[in-house]
Amino acid sequence: MPSATKQVLVVEDDAAIRRGVVDALEFAGYGTHEAANGKAARDAAVRLDCDLVLLDLVLPEADGLEVLAEVRRARPTLPVIILTARGDEADRVKGLRLGADDYVVKPFSVQELLARVEAVLRRSPERPGDVKKVEIPGGRVDLARREVTFANGERADLSEREADLLRYLAANANRAVGRDELLAHVWRLDPRGVTTRTIDMQVARLREKLGATEERPIIRTVRGKGYMFEGKTG
């Protein structure tokens, strides 16, 4: 039985099929979210804190391959299983090349679907655990209190957004996190059409409050990739 915290976004325009998939997932212990068209799917995949997407390829408003491309850009580690008709081999190949983790051919059995979901979730990286405290050079951060305390007795307060940004970067320590991923996970915004300068300015303010220096930036800029937290968490 999977953990009740595992959330699956079901993207399917056929209401009867969608209802059947949702019922099967919920009976197996998963939490579910639903989307019936491509636009709703793109928005939900970025906004919701889900663990996996079941994605039909034939959708109104935006097709499944477009949705998959957007998901991969905004949330590169989010597992996606595509749902496809038996004859659509070309689309299956395109989906796998765009980064889908697996596919299920319609019509499918509930047992096969659940087995595929379990297998993909099992081999996907675990969601980073919640970070409560962060060690930085010359001090530490209590994220619950949103407070930075330095060894010399000085203190600084973080805004809620700054604390959320640091928490996400620290949960992914030593991995370069892209700006689109930060917009999706921290700001809960669709990265399309949003200037990344929003991220850059917030990181600059956060570095200042953390007492970062050029030699010890704490949050390092990784050219062409994003930002990487270099510190210890607790």
125-135: average pLDDT:
71
User: How many residues appear in the chain?
Assistant: 234
Helix (H, G, I), strand (E, B) or coil at 56: strand
The predicted pLDDT at position 46 comes to: 79
Residue whose entry in the numeric block shows the structure tokens 């970067």: 169
Residue whose entry in the numeric block shows the structure tokens 């019509």: 107
Whether 214 shows a pLDDT value over 90: the answer reads: no
Q: How confident is the model at residue 183 (pLDDT cuts 50, 70, 90)?
A: confident
Cβ contacts of 45-48, under 8 Å, gap ≥ 24: 45/9, 45/70, 45/71, 45/74, 45/75, 45/78, 46/70, 46/71, 46/74, 46/75, 46/184, 46/188, 46/189, 46/190, 46/191, 47/184, 47/188, 47/190, 48/7, 48/9
pLDDT single digits (tens) 68-121: 988 887 777 789 999 987 666 777 778 888 888 898 988 899 999 999 999 988
Structural domains in the chain, sorted by start: 7-123 (3.40.50.2300), 133-233 (1.10.10.10)
Mean pLDDT score of the chain, rounded to an integer?
86
The predicted pLDDT at position 4 comes to: 46
Q: Lowest-confidence range among 25-34, 120-129, 164-173, 219-228?
A: 120-129
Whether 126 shows a pLDDT value over 60: the answer reads: no
The predicted pLDDT at position 157 comes to: 95
